[in-house]
Amino acid sequence: MLTLGIGIGIERLKATDWRTYYSMAPKAPVRMPTLHDETIIVTGASKGLGRSMALHLSERGANVVLVARSEDDLAAVADAADGETLVAPADVRDPDAIDDVVRSTVERFGTPDTLFNNAGVPGRHFGDDRGALVNTDDAEWTRIIEINLTGVALFTKRVLETMLEADETSGNVVNVSSGLGKAAVPNAVPYVSSKWGLEGFTRAVALEVDADGINVNAIDPGGRVNTQIWEHLPDAERQEILQPDVMDDAAALLAAQGPDGVTGESMTAEEWEDRLAET
């Protein structure tokens, strides 16, 4: 049995299980790209994976647009960043707020080159009996789907519209997924549903804009990360899980892809590093 740390166990999945991707073999360091003059929007940038990616992308030279609901938290990230940033508080469920973010981005930096759809929530009762579908009220289901999936669609649509208006179309959309977009556990049905939906969304949109030189991909950390979703774990167990910087290098490699890049794929951070290091 494979323990997920949420009080349940499931049978180990087949060899493609997202938890089997990590290898103990030493790897050669990946040569990281510079991202000077690239403009990158990161949603959910105030904490966790989003904050870490935003700071790393800034360190690589990108102009980073920081999106989350808390302006104060975003300002703290901007203060820690090495490069140019734009603090753009917004709720990804609000189409008008997204319009404002995209408009402000274009006014400040020009057409965005990459969008990282990272904003997401696990649900208030993720992993315990109160999170079972029969115990999930309608408002909670709607909240999770709207943030984790509908918000991604709203943001992606508006950024793609802007990219497609450019004289030479290119760009990247990167959706932050989860191993639970490829597997299933009980007591987390809204979250699991949103991530399975995100996987299909990624592949379908990639087909629509492939001819325009825009890459659409999904990335997941490859295991549990020391962020909000696992904050209920005991301290000893949290020390053994991945840290929020696990996707930083893969994020930079994905943002550096040109119009002939990999598209329509979903991999763990480590898999992306291996794949893009070859190109």
- What are the residues whose beta carbons fall under 8 Å from the beta carbon of 137, sequence distance 6 or more? none
* Nearest-angstrom CA–CA distance, 165 and 37: 19
Half-sphere exposure at residue 75, Cβ-oriented, CA atoms within 13 angstroms: 3
Residue where the block lists tokens 């009220």: 137
* Nearest-angstrom CA–CA distance, 173 and 68: 18
Tokens of 81: 């960043």
Q: CA 84 → CA 108, 162, 245, distances in Å?
A: 10, 21, 20
- What are the residues whose beta carbons fall under 8 Å from the beta carbon of 91, sequence distance 6 or more? 69, 97
Catalytic residue status for 21: no
* Nearest-angstrom CA–CA distance, 208 and 112: 19
DSSP string computed for 70-95: -HHHHHHHHHH-SS-EEE----TT-H
* Nearest-angstrom CA–CA distance, 17 and 263: 21
* Nearest-angstrom CA–CA distance, 168 and 20: 40
Residue where the block lists tokens 């009980």: 186
Which residues are paired to 9 by β-bridges? 3
* Nearest-angstrom CA–CA distance, 188 and 128: 8
Catalytic residue from among 109, 191, 196, 201:
191
Select from 116, 67, 66, 74 the least CA-distant residue to 92: 67
> Which sequence positions are flagged as catalytic?
191
